[in-house]
Amino acid sequence: MKKLSFLFLSILLASSIFAQSETNWAKTAVTDLDYMHQMYRDNHAGGVDPENPTFNKKLEKEYKKARKNALKAKTEFDYQKSLRGFLTPFKDGHMSVWFNNKEYMSSFIKKSSLKNFKQLRKPISIENFADNSAWVYINTFNEKEGLFSKLVPELKKLKNKDIIVFDVRYNGGGSSYNGELLLSALYGKQYIDYVKQQVFKDEKEYYRATEWSLKSFKEAAKFYDVEEQTKDEIACLADAIADGKDICWYKEEKENISSAQKEPVAARVYVLTDNVCFSACLDFMDIIKGIGNITQIGQATDGDTKYMQKRDAELPSGLGKFSISYNGYINRPRKDNETYKPDYKFKGDMDDTKAIQEWIIKLDKKIQDKK
């Protein structure tokens, strides 16, 4: 049996070496890199950003450097390194490439100590913990809107709990609409709209007006079941393209809310963050900070740039995918890659939910005793 296993292993190793030698990694790297460069040049929001006039120059500079490395690629490692090297200098988590059909979240997993990522990511749900307290698991906003809608009536019932914890550990983003839906269930939609208006009052949103951007936006809206909410953005993009413009400035048409009362919530609300919190998770945090009486605990979040909405494109080789942001913001409330730091830091294992819950109960008592 051992001889058979050794023989099988030898065959596998030989096939792997043969496959490596049969692949022209330099040619593959150059082909994929050229396509990435073309797609970023023609569709990325940074290319038309009036606040970032050096984006295109930087894109060309990094492309030339990466192409020199791509031409020298002899192994799959060299191939991947050249493509990653093209994007790394931009320091933008929405501008990434990954390989071999690996889950996109793998780029976030590297930042944590997780050993069993999928097992630790509990489904989006609500559980009781301690006495008269609720734990809301939100490991992603990357689910269809219908799933979050089902939580709304359950969240409305939590207002008189002692403690509510929004657990956004492992949350790498998704649709910002889903986060707003959850907060509206607790505090009221008009109040959350008012908070958004205050938080983002100086912000301007735009889209890179290309056929690829329009198609990508429509696909995303369909996936998240929010086509009705995004029809104005789709029209803005389509009109800009028809008029030969390269940018669509979008302003959500909503009545000005001079003031709004939040629905009464007796519970003390906490949000548990880790260093995976990114993109739509950070949008969720923007609103939470605007609400003002929600305590952030755990670890500091990740950070992102002002180039937000993105879609994935497949590499010509079929060996992986890369992401392109076709939407951007001017005057965002956060600087690029700025993080949100917790009011109270948890120094233990961020994967140990039971230990965190015990810590929160003690922390909450300590906070209440000081009042």
**pLDDT per residue as tens digits for the range 345-371:** 999 999 999 999 999 999 999 999 987
Residue 12's identity, in one-letter code, is: L
Average pLDDT, the chain: 88
Residue 363's identity, in one-letter code, is: L
Residue 107's identity, in one-letter code, is: S
Give the per-residue pLDDT at 56: 97
The count of C-alpha atoms lying within 13 angstroms of the C-alpha of 226, restricted to the half-sphere facing its C-beta, is: 23
3-class secondary-structure state, position 244: coil
**pLDDT per residue as tens digits for the range 102-135:** 543 344 444 444 455 556 678 899 999 988 999 9
Integer distance in angstroms from the first to the last C-alpha of the chain? Answer: 70
Alpha-carbon torsion angle 148, 151, 155, 157, nearest 10: 160
Q: Write down the residue that tokens 């607790």 correspond to.
A: 186
What phi and psi, each to the nearest 5 degrees, are found at residue 341? -95, 145
What phi and psi, each to the nearest 5 degrees, are found at residue 207? -130, 145
**pLDDT per residue as tens digits for the range 302-341:** 999 999 999 999 999 999 999 999 999 999 989 999 999 9
- 88 touches 105 (CB < 8 A): no
User: Is the model's pTM score more than 0.75?
Assistant: yes
pLDDT over 70 (residue 46): yes
Give which of 194, 172, 166 is closest to 254, Cα–Cα: 194
**pLDDT per residue as tens digits for the range 258-312:** 778 889 999 999 999 999 999 999 999 999 999 999 999 999 999 999 999 999 9
Give the per-residue pLDDT at 142: 85
What percentage of the chain reaches a pLDDT higher than 70? Answer: 88
Q: Is the dihedral of CA 284, 289, 292, 293 positive or negative?
A: positive
Give the per-residue pLDDT at 3: 36
Residue 189 carries which DSSP code? H
Confidence of residue 221 (pLDDT cuts 50, 70, 90): confident
**pLDDT per residue as tens digits for the range 124-174:** 999 999 889 999 999 999 876 678 989 999 999 999 999 999 999 999 998
